[in-house]
Chain A
Amino acid sequence: MNFLAFFTSADTTHVAAESAQHAAAAGEHHGEMSVSEMFKHLFEHVQDSRELELPFIGHVPLPQFAPIEIGGVSLDLSITKHVVFLWFSAALLILLMVLAARANRKNRVPTGWGNLVEVFVKFIRDEIVVPNMGEAGLKYMPYLLTTFFYILIMNLFGLVPWGSSATGNVSVTAGLAIVAFIMIQFSAIRAQGLGHYLAHLTGGVPVFLWPIMIPIEILGLFTKPFALCIRLFANMTGGHLVIVSLFGLIFLFKSYLIGAVTTSFVVAINFLELFVAFLQAYVFTMLTSIFMGLGIQAGHAPHDEHAEHSH
């Protein structure tokens, strides 16, 4: 019953603040922790929080700012755990990529790390960008490469002890999806021109159907990035929840045997998570590139028709 109560209460209450309290409480009486408290403690790994858990140091409070009210939306720019991992991933990614770029500039034949990065870069270029977007897509290579590697490294941070994957937070994936949305619209407008882009929203149906068609088309523009956002978030959170639940079984049954079984399960899930980290980074990049490609190719079609008419 506690198990269920935990899940129902977690969704409704302000978890970030509460989990912090619980963590403090858990630290005080470690021995007699209830299953629900234990779950909450484990669950912290997935949740955003206002403090950072560091090895050997413990919980470090993060800087808080008062929320800024802009047009009825309160913008809380406080540095949370996921913001820290957002920045930590960014710093590590930049470092790793600079190393790869430097190595590849020095060696004519890439080896080691530079070669590994190049395999991914070449894959994204030849298997994702060019087939979906054509040669015109090469302009957007930096964006798609950043998307892939940044999401990948954030995903992988969830597998590191004391780490947390920022992509397991729906706000982070929403931010990434908003960038994707902007890039999709921008590339479409750039390829088709604003007139063609707007004309495309009518879906080519008779004028009296426009009141129905235009809202549907506009909705369609938003569903794609929304799906990107939810897919990445759900995949990254799902794996962690499975691990948390498996660990929870140990505390539910209080048995060494269950501990052995669940640990082996968790190891297997961890490998699955590793795979999913790569897969979801690939899927996000792939779908973004397909959506951009649709806009770009829709831009090419009318131009070709014009060319045929003029002949």
Chain B
Amino acid sequence: MLEINPGLIFWTIITFIAVLAILKKVAWKPLLTALTSREEQIRTALQQAEHAQTEAMKLLEENKRHLAQADAHAQQAMREGREMGERLRVEIVEKANANARAMVEQAKDEIRRERDAALTQLRGEVADLAVIAAGKIIDANLDVNKHRQLVDNVINEIRPS
């Protein structure tokens, strides 16, 4: 059982070398390259995934910042709008008030002027009527101008101040 058979040793070595040569070509090379290339693929895929994640985080962060900025902008715009509206309102009201006051003043002036004119006219009419009445009453030959002066004086004296 323990005796050495050199022929069998020879066959073993020859067969082993042949198996090694064949397997190296048809099995180990393809298997090992498949293994290493897959490992490489997995490694790069993981790296890419990690990269993508950091990128996504960055984008998210940026988006958040943009959103916050937009919010602030909107708030400010609203505040400014409100302030401006308030200011405008006050301005408009004041202007309207001023206008109204001016119109009232104008109207008052007009009224006063009209009243003065009407009074003047009325006085003239009254004087004329008075003269006519007086002439008719006293005398038709009376000096019109002299009496008219007289009556004007009287009317001026009674004009309210």
Chain A residues with a Cβ closer than 8 Å to the other chain, count = 53
Instruction: Knowing A48-B5, A74-B6, A174-B4, say if A146 contacts B30 (CB, 8 Å).
Output: no
| Contact B27–A98 (Cβ < 8 Å) | yes
Per-position contact with B for A93-110: 1 when CB-CB < 8 Å, else 0?
Answer: 110011011101100101
| Contact A169–B8 (Cβ < 8 Å) | yes
The distance from the CB of B42 to the nearest CB of chain A, in whole angstroms, is 10
| Contact A108–B38 (Cβ < 8 Å) | yes
Q: How large is the interface on B (under 10, 10 to 19, 20 to 34, 35 or more residues)?
A: 20 to 34
Q: In the complex, which residues 18-68 of chain B have their Cβ closer than 8 Å to any Cβ of chain A?
A: 18-20, 22-24, 26-32, 34-35, 38
Contact of B17 among A47, A100, A104, A179 (CB under 8 A): A179
Closest to B20 in A: A146
> How far apart sit A176 and B7, CA to CA, in the bound complex (Å)?
14
> How far apart sit A175 and B5, CA to CA, in the bound complex (Å)?
10
Closest to B16 in A: A179
**5 pairs across A/B with beta carbons < 8 Å?**
A90-B18, A94-B19, A100-B31, A171-B9, A172-B8
| Contact B5–A171 (Cβ < 8 Å) | yes
> How far apart sit A145 and B32, CA to CA, in the bound complex (Å)?
11
By a CB distance below 8 angstroms, the chain A residues around B23 are 93-94, 97, 142, 145-146, 149
Instruction: Knowing A105-B30, A170-B2, say if A86 contacts B15 (CB, 8 Å).
Output: yes
**Knowing that A76-B5, A146-B20 are A-B contacts, what are 12 other residue pairs whose CB atoms are under 8 Å apart, sorted by A's residue number?**
A75-B10, A78-B7, A97-B26, A101-B27, A102-B30, A104-B35, A121-B28, A142-B20, A142-B28, A150-B16, A171-B4, A175-B8
| Contact B2–A178 (Cβ < 8 Å) | no
Contact of A86 among B6, B11, B28, B32 (CB under 8 A): B11
| Contact A76–B7 (Cβ < 8 Å) | yes
The distance from the CB of A74 to the nearest CB of chain B, in whole angstroms, is 7
By a CB distance below 8 angstroms, the chain B residues around A166 are 12
Per-position contact with B for A70-83: 1 when CB-CB < 8 Å, else 0?
Answer: 00011111101011
> How far apart sit A87 and B11, CA to CA, in the bound complex (Å)?
9
| Contact B10–A101 (Cβ < 8 Å) | no
Instruction: Knowing A48-B8, A98-B26, A141-B28, say if A146 contacts B16 (CB, 8 Å).
Output: yes
By a CB distance below 8 angstroms, the chain B residues around A217 are none
> How far apart sit A118 and B35, CA to CA, in the bound complex (Å)?
8
| Contact A121–B31 (Cβ < 8 Å) | yes
By a CB distance below 8 angstroms, the chain B residues around A296 are none
Per-position contact with B for A111-122: 1 when CB-CB < 8 Å, else 0?
Answer: 000000110011
Interface centre among B13, B27, B32 (most CB of A within 10 A): B27
By a CB distance below 8 angstroms, the chain A residues around B138 are none
> How far apart sit A143 and B32, CA to CA, in the bound complex (Å)?
13
Nearest first, the 6 A-B pairs at minimum CB distance are: A175-B12, A97-B27, A171-B8, A76-B7, A101-B30, A142-B24
By a CB distance below 8 angstroms, the chain A residues around B18 are 90
Closest to A74 in B: B6
> How far apart sit A82 and B4, CA to CA, in the bound complex (Å)?
13
| Contact B12–A172 (Cβ < 8 Å) | yes
The distance from the CB of A249 to the nearest CB of chain B, in whole angstroms, is 21
Instruction: Knowing A77-B10, A175-B8, say if A94 contacts B2 (CB, 8 Å).
Output: no
| Contact A105–B34 (Cβ < 8 Å) | yes
Instruction: Knowing A105-B34, A117-B31, A174-B9, say if A11 contacts B26 (CB, 8 Å).
Output: no
Closest to B6 in A: A75
By a CB distance below 8 angstroms, the chain A residues around B28 are 97, 121, 141-142, 145-146
- Check if A10 is an interface residue, CB within 8 A of chain B: yes
Contact of B35 among A98, A122, A169 (CB under 8 A): A122
Closest to B28 in A: A142
Closest to A107 in B: B34
Per-position contact with A for B102-134: 1 when CB-CB < 8 Å, else 0?
Answer: 000000000000000000000000000000000
> How far apart sit A237 and B27, CA to CA, in the bound complex (Å)?
30
The distance from the CB of A27 to the nearest CB of chain B, in whole angstroms, is 23
By a CB distance below 8 angstroms, the chain A residues around B8 are 48, 80, 82-83, 169, 171-172, 175
Q: In the complex, which residues 45-104 of chain B have their Cβ closer than 8 Å to any Cβ of chain A?
A: none
Closest to B22 in A: A94
| Contact B27–A100 (Cβ < 8 Å) | yes
The distance from the CB of B17 to the nearest CB of chain A, in whole angstroms, is 7
- Check if A15 is an interface residue, CB within 8 A of chain B: yes
By a CB distance below 8 angstroms, the chain A residues around B27 are 94, 97-98, 100-101
